[in-house]
Amino acid sequence: MSDMFERFLTIINTSSLIAAGDKILVAVSGGLDSMVLLHLLSQSKFQFGICHINYGLREQDSENDEALVAKLAREIGCAFHLKKVKRSEWKKSQSIQMMAREIRYDFFTNISTHHGYTKIATAHHANDSLETALLYFIKGTGISGLTGIPAKRENVVRPLLTFTKEELKGYALQNQIQWREDQSNATNKYQRNIIRNEVIPLLRGINPQIEHTFLNTSKYLKGAEMALKNISQQILLQHFQKKKNSQELTLDWFDKNELNEAVLFEILKYAQINATQLADLVSIISQNKSGKCVETSSHYILLDRNRLFIQEYSPDNDPSSAHWVTMPPQIIQLPNARVKTSVRKRPIELIKRKDFALLNLEKITFPMKIRKWEQGDWFVPFGMKGRKLLSDFMIDMKIPVTLKKDIRVLLNGEDIVWVMGYRTDDRYKIDSQTAEALMLEHETL
């Protein structure tokens, strides 16, 4: 039994990566790393099958990779699961690397579900983990990004993470393991390749043992991450509350220091916040800019006095989203509300309720538009003769910051004719001469 194989088994056992009853799906590309992983697993008593994805991006090289892995599966006598990616599966809106990852993990999940695999093993190693940490460090990250690749995430395990690329290559040569080189790894087309081919060799000139140094540092960072998660969990239990369509985080605990900023970042990771957005949010909190909002790729995070409101972004709460009012009668479904329309003929009874609007139908041109209010919006409030900015109107009405972002307006052309649920526009009011009125009822759900 070789020293490397003993280390391999020790890592699996001490890190609880694989149990005796597990059925393992091994991702094998045909490259050095995955071929070594397969060789090590073939010496163990674990039950496993092989999966391979032919992305079709390197023409004959892709076919040769597939042929090598298929041949090895036959020689070992284990199950072989193949996916050939069709051109139609590549989306122009995503990078090739992101799309390949999505295809890869969808395939892993599908094969595992249909063939009873309990674990998915990939061949990521210490160099991969270092590259990942450096990429996150350059782009901005929390503490978890600096720890590199996790050895286990759900049912995906990575038993080679403590081995360096050099160790894997030495093992492959010693055991006469055949593998194929992906020539695209030598180019600097992708960011990771620049890190691998340019940055790490420079760092290795300063520290020849940089991969081992990183592995040790990563252990300490993982300990610090655990401590941070524990503190964050305590804050969540005391200060975080889930609402129907949002979440609320009170800030009694927050003052501007490095630990609290790290805790806030940890809490808001689910909202896809990045380092730059966190800095903006901390600045808003520190300056008590109530009503200011930070938008992440998935959420709005709004400060209202001493609390944050976090709401998931969707087409329904996108400020640019719109709904249309056509000839009545009609029911318009809005997020958390609906609007019913009808026509009233003379004599027209006035309804003095904020959730009703009566507008002079002769002045209306359909379709009308419902959208969220925007900075710079103005109208002529009922009973007044001059225009008023909607932002000023909401201050006069003492509308809470938490409700302002959800206020919608009804437009006739470019004119705001109703601040829905609050006030109609004086230019569209009905009088004794009005023959027909458009009646709208705003009902909160």
Closest C-alpha to 430, from 379, 357, 366: 357
How many other C-beta atoms can be found within 10 angstroms of the C-beta atom of residue 142?
19
Q: What share of the chain is helix, strand, coil (3-state, %, to 5)?
A: 40, 25, 35
Q: Tokens 């919608």 identify what position? A: 408
User: pLDDT category, 318, cuts 50, 70, 90?
Assistant: low
Say whether pLDDT at 65 is over 80: yes
**Is the peptide bond preceding residue 329 cis, with omega within 30 degrees of 0?**
yes
Q: How far is CA 319 from the centre of its chain?
A: 20
Q: Which of the 8 DSSP states describes residue 437?
A: E
What residues contact residue 346 under an 8 Å CB cut-off, 6+ apart? 434, 435, 436
User: What is the rounded CA–CA span in Å between residue 358 and residue 346?
Assistant: 12
- β pairing state of 408-412 and 415-419: antiparallel
The structural domains of the chain, ordered by start, are 3-215 (3.40.50.620), 243-312 (no CATH), 322-444 (3.50.40.10)
- Kindly indicate the confidence band of residue 316, based on its pLDDT and cuts at 50, 70 and 90: very low
Sign of the alpha-carbon torsion through 136, 138, 143, 149: positive
Binned at pLDDT 50, 70 and 90, residue 394 comes out as very high
How far, in Å, are 259, 305, 309 from residue 402 at the CA level?
28, 10, 8
Give the rounded percent of residues in the chain with a pLDDT score beyond 70.
96
Looking at residue 197, the DSSP 8-state letter turns out to be: I
Q: How far is CA 337 from CA 109, 166, 232, 379, in A?
A: 39, 62, 35, 23
Contact 35, 178 (CB under 8 A): yes
- 433 has a pLDDT exceeding 50: yes
Q: Kindly state the average pLDDT of the residues 343-354.
A: 80
Name the DSSP letter for residue 85: P
The neighbour count for residue 22, using CB atoms within 10 Å, is 16
What is the predicted pLDDT for the residue at 279?
92
Which residues are paired to 241 by β-bridges? 248
Query: Residue 425 carries which DSSP code?
Result: B
Per-residue pLDDT tens for 203-232? 999 999 999 999 999 999 999 999 999 999
pLDDT on residue 319:
45
Identify the CA nearest to 169 among candidates 333, 35, 68.
35
Q: Are 29 and 62 in contact (CB under 8 A)?
A: no
Mean of pLDDT values over 374-400? 92
Give the pLDDT of residue 353. 81
DSSP 95: -
What distances in angstroms separate CA 406 from CA 227, 328, 335, 403, one per listed residue?
A: 38, 25, 9, 6
When pLDDT is averaged across residues 106-121 and rounded to a whole number, the result is 94
Kind and range of the H or E run holding 110: helix 96-115
Asked if 302 and 401 count as a contact pair (C-beta separation under 8 A), the reply is yes
Q: Is 264 exposed, middle or buried (0-12, 13-18, 19+ CB in 10 A)?
A: buried
Of 183-187, 290-294, 337-341, 400-404, give the lowest mean pLDDT range. Answer: 183-187
Where residue 140 falls among pLDDT bands split at 50, 70, 90? confident
Burial class from Cβ neighbours inside 10 Å (0-12, 13-18, 19+) for residue 266 reads buried
pLDDT of residue 121: 96
pLDDT, average across residues 300-325: 72
Q: What letter does residue 405 receive in the DSSP assignment?
A: T
What is the maximum alpha-carbon separation in the chain?
100
The segment with the largest mean pLDDT, out of 76-90, 102-116, 179-193, is 102-116
Segment 431-442 shows an average pLDDT of: 90
